[in-house]
Amino acid sequence: MQGRLLRILVAAGVVVGAGLPAATASAAPVEQNAMIRGAHLSPDTTNVDVYLTAFSGGTTVLWLSSVGYGDVSPYDWLKPGAYAVSMRPHGAAASTPAALSWTFTAKAGHAYTAAGVGMNKNLQGIIIEDELNPPSAGHGLVRVIQAASRAPHADVTAQNGTVLARSVAFSDTTPYSTLAAGNVKVTAEADDADLNTSAMVDVKSASVSSLVLLDGQNGGLTLRMIADAAGATTRPLGSVPAGGGGTAPLPLLRSERDDGPLTWLAGAAVLIGCAGLIALRRRHAVPT
């Protein structure tokens, strides 16, 4: 899909954060970016173009082009703030009214999935917040995004018996569950229809993933695993040792980086004192 999505990014400062504030090494928290991706989860809706409008500045950009059912785009950086997502039929001019629009606030350090869900006649825009907190070591977090209209309600179970979704309704998303890292068989089963599907999925340690349940190609169901976030599979303990002390001030000397007003006053006093001494010595020296 990545090849198909014409990802036209993005006029100045809308998606790619620009003009981040300067910060000193120990300053208060600085602004970070948010992250967003788009998803088409409406089984009977044709391909769409997705636009993003920043309320600050009002810039509208074509964000994703020709997104079809089952597509989930990669993430893009997004400057924190309020946005509107809007969808048009693929190829419709940007000047035409949006067929569907919805708004959300992007918070720094958070990740979001903007999705069109439901059947075409009830098409809805939603924002799903994606998890970024790490699972415990040797585990991955997995949730289910239920986008299969052929299964009005579905159960999704991992091979080891972990229930990832119980009777989750079409268009709903479950909370994340913790699974041991490794290859695991996952089975989805419709509650109210004789349909099921299985997939082998690779749960990576320290990863966060979504299993998307979709209407399949030939009347059945299908499961797709998509990565939400990845981290170091083994996290080192503690801090990072990275200095020999060769530039550290000796214990009795003050840090050169302390340039508060008192330091300046003290410095000025020393300078004036020295100058005075020099002058006095010169005066005494003159007669001889």
The interface with other proteins within residues 79-98 (CB under 8 A) comprises 79-82, 84, 86-89, 92, 97-98
- Contact between 153 and other proteins by CB under 8 A: the answer reads no
Minimal distance, residue 237 CB to other proteins, in Å: 4
Cα-Cα end-to-end distance for the chain: 93
Laid out side by side, the sheet with 177-180 consists of 177-180, 139-147, 208-215
Closer residue to other proteins in complex, CB, 163/271: 271
Query: Does 152 help bind other proteins (rule: CB under 8 A)?
Result: no
- Measured CA to CA, the distance from residue 81 to residue 84 in angstroms comes to 10
Site for other proteins, residues 11 to 50, rule: CB under 8 A: 13, 16-17, 19-27, 29-33, 35, 37, 40, 43-48
Strand 81-89: give its sheet, edge to edge.
Answer: 60-67, 48-54, 81-89, 100-106
Q: Left (φ > 0), alpha (ψ -120 to 50) or beta: where does 60 sit? A: beta
- Between residue 54 and residue 83, which ones bind other proteins under the rule CB under 8 A? 55-58, 60, 67-71, 75, 77, 79-82
Are the C-beta atoms of 53 and 79 separated by less than 8 Å? no
Alpha carbon dihedral 145, 37, 71, 40, in 10-degree steps, equals 70
Q: E strands within 170-216?
A: 177-180, 182-190, 196-203, 208-215
Binding segment toward other proteins, per CB under 8 A, in 165-173, 180-188, 189-197, 213-221: 213-221
Among 127, 180, 181, 193, binds other proteins (CB under 8 A): 127
Using the contact rule CB under 8 A, the part of the chain among 161-169, 176-184, 187-195, 242-250 near other proteins is: 242-250
φ, ψ of residue 237 to 5 degrees: the values are -85, 145
Contacting other proteins within 172-191 (CB under 8 A): none
Compare residues 161 and 246 and give the one whose CB is closer to other proteins: 246
d(CA 66, CA 7) in angstroms, rounded, equals 10
Query: Nearer to other proteins by C-beta: 63 or 75?
Result: 75
Residue 218: count of CB within 10 angstroms of its CB: 6
Q: Does 288 bind other proteins (CB under 8 A)?
A: no
Would you say 13 or 182 has its CB closer to other proteins?
A: 13
> In this chain, which stretch among 52-60, 151-159, 161-169, 179-187 interacts with other proteins, using CB under 8 A?
52-60
**According to CB under 8 A, which one of 93, 237, 253, 262 is a site residue for other proteins?**
237
Q: Decide whether 161 or 219 has the Cβ nearer to other proteins.
A: 219
What does the block give as tokens for 141? 């977090």
> Any idea which residue has 């964000």 for tokens?
63
The answer to whether the CB of 77 falls within 8 A of the CB of 31 is: no
Cβ–Cβ < 8 Å for 38, 67: yes
Quote the least distance from Cβ 169 to other proteins, whole Å: 16
Scan for tokens 């990576």, then name that residue: 204
Candidates 167-175, 179-187, 189-197, 238-246 — which segment interacts with other proteins by CB under 8 A?
238-246
In the list 8, 91, 105, 192, the residue contacting other proteins (rule: CB under 8 A) is: 105
Q: Which of 163, 169, 200, 278 binds other proteins (CB under 8 A)?
A: 278
